[in-house]
Structures are given as structure tokens and as C-alpha cells.
Amino acid sequence: MRKFVKLLVIAALMFAGYGCETPTEKPQGEPQLEVTANNIAGSWKLASLKGGPLAEGSYVYIDFDRADRTFTMYQNTDSHYTRTLTGRYYIEIDEMGKAVIRGNYDHGVGEWNNRYVVTSLTANEMIWQAEGNPEDVSTYKRADIPAEIAGAAQEEN
């Protein structure tokens, strides 16, 4: 019985000592930003779609204009050539307090396929999740739009 009590005391001391350890600091990522037109303004490149990379040679760049809430998108995901799409975007806060971005295309093309909850926004990365589809996650990284892509799109229009 004495051994059992002794083991119990040792175990209790071990757990007590474990609980008193100074927690190690986890590295903090970039600070989260409020989802506003000002904070998303600028150029972004789609880095991953539905958790995976884009097909080799494919790209999507989007430039958000803060002042008039417009966007210009350069992409080749549905064409061998660069296509330019333009339109307006809107940022709303839903009933759960989440920032939602949606948009519509110019020239009667219609609305975006989805409304997206912006689950993370830092100075260099933005993550969108399609409303109602947790597997549809897109990650955008800050990036300059290469002149040859923007220029090629201008020549085609």
C-alpha cells in the first residue's frame, strides 16, 4: 500500500510540475486585417483552389480598386489566352458577423458563381471559402500582375 501511495504522490508531482511549465510561445503569423475595400485593394494571384494548386501554366490575377469598388481579373483557366473580366465587388457582413465578398461582371455576364466568406486576411494572403461549400477554398497571395499578362489582355480587347 505504501508503494502505491508513493507512486501516486510521484505521479501527482509530475503532473503538477508539467502544469507549471512556462508555455512555449507559438510563432504568430501576420496580423489579421479587417475585411474592407481598403485592405483588399491591390493585386492578388490565386495560389490554390479547392486546397490544391492550379493546373500548370494556369493563372488568375485579380486587382481590386478601393475607390470605386471595381475589379479587373486576368485569367487563362478557361482559355489558352489571357481573358480579362471586369466588374464590381461588394463586401458585406453576414448575420454571423463574417465578411462576405461577392461580385458581378460587366457587360451582362452575370454574378460570380459564389459568395465567399473571407476566412483570413493579412497584408499578404487572403483566404476565401464559398458559402455553403467548405471544400471550396481559395487562397490568394499578394502579387504584381506581370506586364506581359496585363499587356496581352489589353491587346486582345
- The answer for 20, left when phi > 0, alpha when psi is -120 to 50, beta otherwise, is alpha
Cα torsion 89, 90, 94, 97: sign: positive
The answer to whether the pTM exceeds 0.85 is no
pLDDT at 47: 97
pLDDT at 72: 97
pLDDT at 80: 85
Regions of the chain where pLDDT drops below 50: 1-27
Hey, is 122 helix, strand or coil? coil
